[in-house]
Structure formats: C-alpha cells, structure tokens
Amino acid sequence: METKEITKEEKNSVNWLNSSKLLGIKWKDFKQYLLDKGYIYITKSSKKINCYDDYSTKGGSGLFYKKVDVITLPNGKAVKDYQTKVTIKGIEYFKQKLTEEGLI
C-alpha cells in the first residue's frame, strides 16, 4: 500500500466542522457566511463545497487548502475527488472578520 506524504498546507488546515468550532460559530451559520460573502460555492453535480481561492492558486490568499485525489471507480473511470479545508491563516482571518461583523 502506497502512503502519501502529508504536505505542510494539508497538515496546517482544518475541516469545515472543526473550523466553525474553533471560531465559536455554528457550522450552518459559518457556511452561509462564506456563501454570502463569495468565498465558497457548492457544486451542482456532487453538492460539495468548493472555494474560489485555494492555497495552490497562483497569487491565492492562502485561506483555503483544496486536496485533490484521483479515484478509479469500479467501472474503470477515473474521477477527481477533492476536499476543501480552512488553513490556519484562514481561521485567523475569519475570526477577525466575524468579530468585526459581530457574528462571534
């Protein structure tokens, strides 16, 4: 079995639920805030949360980290699967923004 090396960005990022816990806001409210402010969108096909600007984007803000894996389905078709997380920089940024707006 092949083991993948964990990158610094992945190691220093947190999933959505834990991000909202760290910020002291309900996940549902945090998700709606991110949607309303244009930080994220939900894909129509897979209903997954995706960010407009992830760590790997050239000139990106570094607020999010998107891990992309290629998965081979039983029918042999390869599809991309991804998981978007909030970086430590993102947690600090959103804590400041949410505090300024009186949401936490």
21-43 pLDDT, tens digit per residue, is 999 999 999 999 999 999 999 98
Contact in structure between 86 and 18 (CB atoms under 8 Å)? no
Domain count of the chain?
1
5 domain residue, yes or no = no
pLDDT in tens, 49-97: 888 876 555 567 788 888 888 888 899 888 887 888 898 989 999 999 9
4 domain residue, yes or no = no
Specify burial of residue 47 (Cβ count, 10 A radius: 0-12, 13-18, 19+).
exposed
Cα–Cα distance for residue pair 57/37, rounded to 1 Å: 19
42 domain residue, yes or no = yes
Q: What is the pTM of this model?
A: 0.78
31 domain residue, yes or no = yes
* pLDDT of 1 above 50: no
Average pLDDT over residues 6-29: 85
- Of residues 1 and 91, which shows the higher confidence score? 91
3 domain residue, yes or no = no
* pLDDT of 20 above 90: yes
List the end-to-end C-alpha distance of the chain, in Å, as a whole number.
Answer: 44
44 domain residue, yes or no = yes
Average pLDDT over residues 4-8: 59
* Residues 6+ away with beta carbon under 8 Å from 41: 35, 49, 50, 52
pLDDT value for 62:
83
Amino acid at the residue 96: Q
40 forms bridges with which residues in the sheet? 51
What b/e sequence results for 71-97 when a residue is b if at least 16 CB atoms lie within 10 Å of its CB, and e otherwise? eeeeeeeeeeeebbbbbbbbbebbeee
Give the domain range for residue 85: 11-100
